[in-house]
């Protein structure tokens, strides 16, 4: 793409022109540090999350207008993602669960059950059927993306917090990182 977004300690999201290396838009609305940002796959939306003001926002990527400001009772973690069809948006919350919203309406559609292993990172599979979570207890778990129910798969092997998870393009593999 020709744009990059960045999360900022000043509570803003900055959109940059890659070729010029210049800021083309500053998205204001969060009251505290923004820890995570994501572009939708179709490039129409930007999502941002602040764990300090307990909010996530969905922005129009072209105009910079805030479409939805979503307050949650949980402290958001630095992991957000759009579903492959861009109809849903996911965030990890309070090391306990993940939350899925409808992008068009801003309605919370799924609140997963609490995961005692401590959800830190989240992502959708490319076919949109699964959610993978990386956890504080060094495990990776799979969930049904339509219901928020956990699947019996628990992957063990890391020795630290799983801070990133991603599916391969064919959804046959999951890559992960920890610290």
| Residue 62: burial class (beta carbons within 10 Å; 0-12, 13-18, 19+) | exposed
Q: Sign (positive/negative) of CA torsion 151, 157, 160, 163?
A: negative
Q: Using CA atoms, how far apart are residues 143 and 130, in angstroms rounded to an integer?
A: 6
Q: Using CA atoms, how far apart are residues 15 and 147, in angstroms rounded to an integer?
A: 34
Residues facing residue 15 across a β-bridge:
5, 25
Tens of pLDDT, residues 63-93: 999 999 988 776 666 789 999 999 999 988 7
Cβ-based neighbours of 159, under 8 Å, separated by 6 or more: 138, 178
Give the pLDDT confidence score for residue 136 in this predicted structure.
Answer: 85
Give the pLDDT confidence score for residue 55 in this predicted structure.
Answer: 86
**Assigned token pair, 19:** 């070729």
Backbone phi, then psi, for 130, in 5-degree steps? Answer: -125, 155
DSSP tag of 84: T
- What stretches of 106-179 adopt beta strand conformation (E)? 108-111, 119-124, 130-135, 139-144, 150-156, 162-167, 174-178
Backbone phi, then psi, for 6, in 5-degree steps? Answer: -135, 145
Instruction: Using 50 as the pLDDT threshold, list the residues of the chain that sit under it.
Output: none
Closest C-alpha to 88, from 52, 58, 60, 115: 58
């Amino acid at each position: 793409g020709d744009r990059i977004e960045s999360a900022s300690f000043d509570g803003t999201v900055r959109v940059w022109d890659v070729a010029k290396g210049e800021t083309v838009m500053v998205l204001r609305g969060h009251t505290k540090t923004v820890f995570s940002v994501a572009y939708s796959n179709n490039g129409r939306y930007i999502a941002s999350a602040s764990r300090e003001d307990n909010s996530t926002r969905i922005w129009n990527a072209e105009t910079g207008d805030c479409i939805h400001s979503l307050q949650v009772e949980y402290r958001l973690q630095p992991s957000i993602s759009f579903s492959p069809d861009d109809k849903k948006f996911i965030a990890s919350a309070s090391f306990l669960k993940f939350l899925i919203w409808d992008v068009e309406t801003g309605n919370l559609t799924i609140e997963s059950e609490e995961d005692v292993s401590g959800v830190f990172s989240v992502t959708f599979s490319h076919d949109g059927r699964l959610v993978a979570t990386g956890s504080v207890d060094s495990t990776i778990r799979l969930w049904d993306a339509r219901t928020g129910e956990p699947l019996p798969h628990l992957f063990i092997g890391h020795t630290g917090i799983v801070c990133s998870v991603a599916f391969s393009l064919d959804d046959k593999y999951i890559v992960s990182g920890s610290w």
